[in-house]
Amino acid sequence: MIKQYVCHPFFIKSFLAFNLLIAFTNLKAQNVNIPINTEAFTMLLQTDENNLLRTVYFGESLVNESEYSSVSDMFNFTDSNIGISNATYTTSGTWNLSESAIQLVHADGNKSLELKYVSHSSKLLETNINLTSIVLKDPVYPVQVTLFYKVFVKENVIEQWTEIEHTEKSNIKLQKYSSANLYFTDGDYHLTTYHNQWAKEMQHNESKLTRGIKTVDSKLGSRTMLLQSPNFILSFGNQASENEGMVILGQLAWSGNFKLEFEVDSYDNLRFIAGINPHASEYSLPPNTSFKTPSLIYAISNNGTGEASRNIHNWARNYQVLDGKGERLTLLNNWEATYFDFDEDKISALFKDAKELGVDLFLLDDGWFGNKYPRNGDNAGLGDWQENVEKLPHGIGYLVKEAKKEDVKFGIWIEPEMINPKSELYENHLDWVIRQPERPEVYFRNQLVLDLSNPEVQDFVFGIVDKLFTENPELAFIKWDNNSVIFNAHSTYLEDKKLPQSHLYVEYVKGLYKVLKRIRTKYPKVPMMLCSGGGGRADYELLKYFTEFWPSDDTDPLERVFMQWNYSYFYPSIITDNHVTNWGNQSIKYKVDVASMGKLGFDIVASELSEKDLLFCKNAITNYHSFKDIVWHGELYRLSNPYTNEFAALMYVKEDKNKAVVFNYLVNNRVSFHTNIEPVRMAGLDANKKYRVKEINLYPGQESSLNTDKIYSGDFLMKVGINPNVNKTRPSVLFELTEAKD
Ligand code: GLA
């Protein structure tokens, strides 16, 4: 079904007929209404008497189309005030004096831009997905901007991006080229964003927006999330709450420098502009080519962050993440067990541990490559992706086979975007390295970044993965790391091609996507984990090619309760990898329980565990295999917030509501002897169903203090709740609710 709306035939007839265009726009235009409708919300775009496109409404669905035209009559904002600009894509150099969404220099050096509405069309791409595109053109210069709104109706999720093209005589220079420009008139806005450090990722930052611009951005080039994350929660009226109020929650899906700008104007309206960070990134666009921005993706809810999260989780699993509805492999990793100090025998012995534990896969981490400069520490070898003959004389193939003998799959760590100066690659291909030729090199973890704007480097990176899979067709998993930021941003390739250096940040990311597209064309299914020195490199554009991500090297389970809580606003647990390690001094039970809220893995020497700890782990993994489907594919309900309570509680509910699993943790060690006084209210159950409660993951010898003989109604569980009796002797309590059919 394709609906096509046009303002006037002149507009579509000729992109170059500017005289006619000007003549036409001088006529009094009729308002054109363009509703962007999800199941519960309407964003109403409307042309004004000058054919400028305005955002006139963002809120609950407007039921009567006939009333669209009356919306703007109700607002008495005057455009003479520079703070007022509800332009749907704000230009610069003409009438607008506030922060713009687009800024450019025409081929003749002129810097003015005005965008007038030309046409729009909407089509149903598939059940539940609508795409609306709106064409805007400058009446003076042949520049066209198309705004795209992809609506996932049921999930109330919108994906928004922009395409810019032109037919000027030579290149135009794009100085700012945002993905989206939203506008709200609610008056009171609260923003939550997230800052990061190594081992301290996803630290939230909440504030009420006041007049002026709040900017959240990163200029780190690669590993951009080491500073800030491109995720945000906007709430209206009050601070975001779990079950009440209007919230918009989402991210800019871009793996490079980004910028989110939240500007409250003098009438307390909010303009939200999001896109690639214009910092040092002027983009020279040739005629008859198009620049496509990354997507801003957001879920909208009138029932708080809980519903918005469930919506974005469903969207991610159904439409975005690679194999989002599929299975994942539990694993044993050797990073913390061995660091760089291993050989074939040591690794082969760990396969037995993996089998003993009952996990699906063994993951060989960093340190397996490099010969002239062996990778025995983080200061050498990156770039030389040949097995180190001393550590692995029989190569990866041997390890894959040995693992198979234990009935365990085999996976491997790579960091293909990076290079150590101590490497053969550096000796042979200095021209592939991002560095200022005339200046001293600056290192991050002793490494530099390869220039992915260069197609030869793209081939090289593709080749690393291709060789691994070609030589080891049974290789079952890849951990793709990315530790360094970009210092000394300069590309020899761009210089040789006489292309502007200011393209580097953008072309790096595009180059990365090209490589990943090639990998996925040839190897569509193999699971791959995104890692970035921990780091939560988890933007939804990259997640098209990856099945999961590594949230942080900090695996202290208490820290992880908080971190995973924050990640859970944006990402479904199926893509969050959690490992049990030696970090933190909590019990093994606490560690395994926390790691089970996602994809479970281990990074320990299992043979060094006490008998009881090992028995616990084995039983817990068996339990995990029985409930993982609910954690991976069920609905998440956050019940007790660790930031405001002494206990954290979260639950996952199966779609048909006949089973749920509930996680409870003590997060405050000052509580020396108290048990939680009040019950934890469940959510997402069927009020009319009856449920049996069973505590699981009990440590050997531990008795449950929950009454498992009684059966409770969903109504009772959601209104009164269950007391998990969390206290210092029971700091972590896991129980299942199973429908009792009698
Ligand atoms: C990064 C990762 C770790 C590990 C090391 C290996 O720090 O986050 O998990 O893979 O690299 O060098």
pLDDT in tens, 552-597: 999 999 999 999 999 999 999 999 999 999 999 999 999 999 999 9
Would you say residue 514 has pLDDT above 80?
yes
Would you say residue 14 has pLDDT above 50?
no
Atom of ligand 1 nearest to the CA of 532: 8
For residue 186, the model assigns a pLDDT of 84
Of 200, 334, 483, the one to substitute when testing ligand 1's pocket (max ligand atoms within 8 A of C-beta) is 483
Percent of the chain past pLDDT 90, that is, above it, reads: 89
Distance 383 CA to ligand 1 centre (A): 16
Would you say residue 4 has pLDDT above 50?
no
419 or 97, greater pLDDT? 419
Distance 336 CA to ligand 1 centre (A): 9
3-state secondary structure of 638: strand
Closest residue by Cα to atom 1, ligand 1, is: 533
Distance 439 CA to ligand 1 centre (A): 29
Long-range contacts of 516-520 (CB under 8 A, 24+ apart): 516/542, 516/544, 516/545, 517/545, 518/458, 518/462, 519/462, 519/465, 519/466, 519/545, 520/322, 520/545
**Phi, psi of 687, rounded to the nearest 5 degrees:** -55, -30
Would you say residue 738 has pLDDT above 60?
yes
Using pLDDT thresholds of 50, 70 and 90, give the confidence band for residue 670. Answer: confident
Of 366, 378, 532, 577, the one to substitute when testing ligand 1's pocket (max ligand atoms within 8 A of C-beta) is 366
For residue 543, the model assigns a pLDDT of 98
For residue 10, the model assigns a pLDDT of 33
What is the β-pairing status of strands 331-333 and 599-602? Answer: parallel
Distance 517 CA to ligand 1 centre (A): 24
Residue written as token pair 């290192």: 443
3-state secondary structure of 628: helix
Q: Which helix (H) or strand (E) holds 324?
A: none
Give yes or no for a contact between 40 and 60, defined as CB atoms under 8 angstroms apart.
Answer: yes
Distance 117 CA to ligand 1 centre (A): 50
The two tokens of residue 288 are 């008859």
Distance 449 CA to ligand 1 centre (A): 16
Please, what's the b/e burial string for 662-699 (b: 16 or more CB within 10 A of its CB; e: otherwise)? bbbbbbeeebeeebbeeebebbbbbeebbbbbebbbbb
124 CB neighbour count, 10 Å cutoff? 13
Does residue 245 come out as left (phi exceeding 0), alpha (psi in the -120 to 50 range) or beta? Answer: left
pLDDT in tens, 721-732: 999 999 989 999
Residue 532: C-alpha distances to residues 223, 348, 480, 538, 556 (Å)? 6, 27, 8, 9, 18
For residue 48, the model assigns a pLDDT of 92
**Phi, psi of 391, rounded to the nearest 5 degrees:** -75, -40
DSSP state of 150: E
Mean pLDDT along residues 247-255:
98
Closest residue by Cα to atom 7, ligand 1, is: 533
First vs last Cα of the chain: how many Å apart?
48
Q: Which helix (H) or strand (E) holds 424?
A: helix 424-428
278 or 72, greater pLDDT? 278
Distance 481 CA to ligand 1 centre (A): 7
Rg (CA), the chain: 27
pLDDT in tens, 408-466: 999 999 999 999 999 999 999 999 999 999 999 999 999 999 999 999 999 999 999 99
Q: Which helix (H) or strand (E) holds 365?
A: none
Closest residue by Cα to atom 8, ligand 1, is: 533
Atom of ligand 1 nearest to the CA of 365: 10
Residue 277: C-alpha distances to residues 178, 242, 514 (Å)? 8, 31, 20
Please, what's the b/e burial string for 174-210 (b: 16 or more CB within 10 A of its CB; e: otherwise)? bbbbbbbbbbbbeeebbbbbbbbebbebbebeeeebe
Longest pairwise C-alpha distance within the chain: 86
Atom of ligand 1 nearest to the CA of 531: 8
pLDDT in tens, 316-326: 999 999 999 99
pLDDT in tens, 368-414: 999 999 999 999 999 999 999 999 999 999 999 999 999 999 999 99
Using pLDDT thresholds of 50, 70 and 90, give the confidence band for residue 18. Answer: very low
Closest residue by Cα to atom 2, ligand 1, is: 533
Would you say residue 678 has pLDDT above 70?
yes
Report which of 455, 463, 457 is spatially closest to residue 432, judged by C-alpha positions. Answer: 457
Summary mean pLDDT of the chain: 94
Using pLDDT thresholds of 50, 70 and 90, give the confidence band for residue 78. Answer: low
Of 365, 375, 480, the one to substitute when testing ligand 1's pocket (max ligand atoms within 8 A of C-beta) is 365
Distance 227 CA to ligand 1 centre (A): 18
Residues with CB under 6 A from ligand 1: 335, 365-366, 378, 413, 481, 483, 531, 533-534, 553
Name 29's Cβ contacts closer than 8 Å, sequence gap at least 6. 7, 47, 49, 50, 51
For residue 12, the model assigns a pLDDT of 34
Give yes or no for a contact between 280 and 502, defined as CB atoms under 8 angstroms apart.
Answer: yes
Would you say residue 45 has pLDDT above 50?
yes
Distance 560 CA to ligand 1 centre (A): 17
Using pLDDT thresholds of 50, 70 and 90, give the confidence band for residue 702. Answer: very high
pLDDT in tens, 521-563: 999 999 999 999 988 799 999 999 999 999 999 999 999 999 9
Distance 601 CA to ligand 1 centre (A): 15
Atom of ligand 1 nearest to the CA of 534: 8
